[in-house]
Amino acid sequence: MIEQATALFRVSTRGQGFTDISDKVTAWVHDVGAREGLLTLHVKHTSCSLTIQENADPDVRHDLLIALDGLAPRGADYRHSIEGPDDMPAHIRTMLTATSLSIPVIDGAVQLGTWQGLYLIEHRDAPHERAIAAHLSFEG
């Protein structure tokens, strides 16, 4: 029989950058008691995103921020600027990355590779409180 579980995670960011949510998410899956299933995560905002990325060398995350700055630079001549110069680049960065992720759960474990972590990427300069909806379809 397929069961379902849901949660809403609150994540505080320190401004632009990566916030590791791996432990929070994997602990919840463990607490639910899922053995086999599919985890879906969805961030409920338009200026941050989710990613599965390298968790060993912080230089990777640093370089990814530089790459995003090149793709959607602050200070460009954007029409949408009412929320500040970092807002439109944040929307573009969100569009280029992901707002939802699906991750298998096998033998009770979220299937991340050895060097993979789950991250919320804050694209705005100021700290924010972000909400991530989680849905787990599973066999207990």
Q: How far from each other are the two terminal CA atoms of the chain, in whole angstroms?
A: 8
Mean pLDDT of 41-58: 98
Burial 9-32 (b: 16+ CB within 10 A, else e): bebebeebbbbebeebbbebbeeb
Summarised one tens digit per residue, pLDDT across range 57-87 is: 999 999 999 999 999 999 899 999 899 999 9
| pLDDT tens, residue by residue, 93-133 | 999 999 999 999 999 999 999 999 999 999 999 999 999 99
User: Is the CATH number 2.40.30.10 carried by domain 3-139?
Assistant: no
d(CA 88, CA 103): 29
Residue 11, pLDDT > 90, answer yes
Classify each residue of 40-58 as buried b or exposed e, where b means 16 or more C-beta atoms within 10 Å of its C-beta. Answer: ebebebebbbbbbbbbeee
